[in-house]
Structure 1
């Protein structure tokens, strides 16, 4: 078993991060496996060295150790680009210049509520034809979307998390109608979460992906990409989320629940485990 924790250095780790890291770490250690660390720093505008340093410090304080070298997404831009160039040459991507407002305006009957998928409003395909690659055309400097009508497959994935345990089938109709043409590269980043996480999990040999249940719906996108790219499909384990007093998922802005604050107030790693239900 190989698990991983993949935080973004865009703010302090909070109780939700601690829970996610401990779940992945404890699962791997209980199985005699490996626990890996990855820094998801593709958002260069928001990623800061001081936050990355704080991540390492907080994890060590929690008693979490990782195996091997830390992977940093900013070091893997050539790998992402190589995959995008192949998909572009195969006619599976197209350039998209739509803004969020453009997409909202193009959705049929917006007064009845726009159709939503894992990435928000399901893209209506405005640029699918006009943004398609021409023979020999290089990868453009634009957002790149996946032709889901060409990429989707009949496949499935295994889930061991408490809320979705079992085998989950994926069909082309499901992906086309309820997910749509997802973005695989944002112009300012050179990749997207969906593409990077799939390539990084494969590169690190991750066998069990543990993460919050808020990402469960995105798993069908990741499995579709794994099948399309000939990559192994891990077992998925989506765990519960740590929420605030109003029931909202914790975010980076929840500094009141930052691990550094608990540490400054004298909390111990055992206290943190109790706070997150471990």
Structure 2
């Protein structure tokens, strides 16, 4: 099927209440797609069943609607590429693993997290996924694999190509990651859980996603995903990465900086339009924070206005949001 329309997605993990940082990413992704009269997808990345709860998923959908965001396809709306919960899409991930195995992109890895952290040759890895792997297990003989498999179930890792990965980011501009960026990464854990990188690429391919706008913390995931698109014979979407929200102390905005979930702010009487206007101003989309609905901001969407650096809030940022 050929794609004739722009298609974007917001894909949160329902492991807690939707907070302001998530809301900013959702708003920017939504504005990008609506400005091009495209279609929006809501997908739940709920592979970690221990952390992801149905109550959080229900609250997430409610919070997004309250904020003024909508979608054509999702867990509640259905759509041609359902289901829209990753926990229900395991067959598709196993099929992709089969393709990658046949093409020689995967290998069994017996390294523990402690092994990787202690290895001097281990790549730095990604902040969200821990230390990478330099590929020692690629060189194991069949006898060595059998010996290790008798003691420990292996994970499956994707072997990163030994070349640079340049791409044009819709906000950051040209970005170039060096060869082997982040090291070889897990596509299926030893306990059978599918890795984030594989799941998101398989789903974006299946759902015909053309544009991905997400938080800056996922920028370094891009070379891994580009390598997977290439290995699976699919064209990647256009990527863009928006700014993170930091507290006054320079750390990621969190509960210790005050009420940061939409549900909490809503309970305190804060109108949705106040949050939307504040997020638009904090990200650089508008100059002065003023109450606005997402629909009203579509006309002013300009990706070049969005800040490339993280947004560090001042000490009285929360007081400025509160109703008079």
User: When the two structures are superposed, what TM-score results if normalisation uses the length of structure 1?
Assistant: 0.84
Question: Tell me, which stretches of 5 or more residues in structure 2 are unaligned?
Answer: 1-5, 76-83, 146-151, 282-324
2:216 is equivalent to residue 213 of structure 1: yes
Indicate the residue corresponding to 2:270 in structure 1. 267
Cα distance in 2, alignment partners of residues 142 and 255 from structure 1: 42
Change (3 A) 1:131 1:262: farther
Contact kept, 8 Å, 1:244 with 1:250, in 2: the verdict is yes
* Higher RCO by CA contacts (8 Å cutoff, separation 6 or greater): 1
Cα displacement string for residues 107-162 of structure 1 (whole angstroms, at most 9, x for unaligned residues) = 25xxxxx641334433132322238799xxxxx9531111224xx5676432111x
Indicate the residue corresponding to 1:277 in structure 2. 280
Change (3 A) 1:253 1:193: farther
2:82 is equivalent to residue 74 of structure 1: no
Aligned mate of 1:56, from 53, 61, 66 = 61
With 121-130 and 250-259 compared, the bigger mean Cα shift is at 250-259
Indicate the residue corresponding to 2:133 in structure 1. 123
Q: After TM superposition, give the deviation of residue 2 of structure 1 in Å.
A: 1.2
Indicate the residue corresponding to 2:228 in structure 1. 225
Change (3 A) 1:231 1:48: same
Cα distance in 2, alignment partners of residues 6 and 253 from structure 1: 25
Indicate the residue corresponding to 1:111 in structure 2. none
Q: After TM superposition, give the deviation of residue 256 of structure 1 in Å.
A: 2.6
Aligned mate of 2:36, from 24, 28, 31 = 31
1:63-102 correspondence runs (5 A): 63-70=68-75, 71-102=84-115
Counting matched residue pairs gives 259
- Three-state SS of the structure 2 residue aligned to 1:18 is helix
1:151-190 correspondence runs (5 A): 156-161=166-171, 164-166=172-174, 168=175, 174-176=178-180, 178-190=181-193
Aligned mate of 1:19, from 5, 24, 34 = 24
Cα displacement string for residues 46-91 of structure 1 (whole angstroms, at most 9, x for unaligned residues) = 1100000001110110011111233110111111111112222333
Contact kept, 8 Å, 2:8 with 2:33, in 1: the verdict is yes
Question: Tell me, which stretches of 5 or more residues in structure 1 are unaligned?
Answer: 109-113, 135-139
1:191-202 correspondence runs (5 A): 191-202=194-205
- Three-state SS of the structure 1 residue aligned to 2:213 is strand
Contact kept, 8 Å, 1:61 with 1:269, in 2: the verdict is yes
Cα distance in 2, alignment partners of residues 91 and 16 from structure 1: 38
User: When the two structures are superposed, what TM-score results if normalisation uses the length of structure 2?
Assistant: 0.73
Change (3 A) 1:253 1:103: farther
Indicate the residue corresponding to 2:119 in structure 1. 106
Q: After TM superposition, give the deviation of residue 42 of structure 1 in Å.
A: 0.5
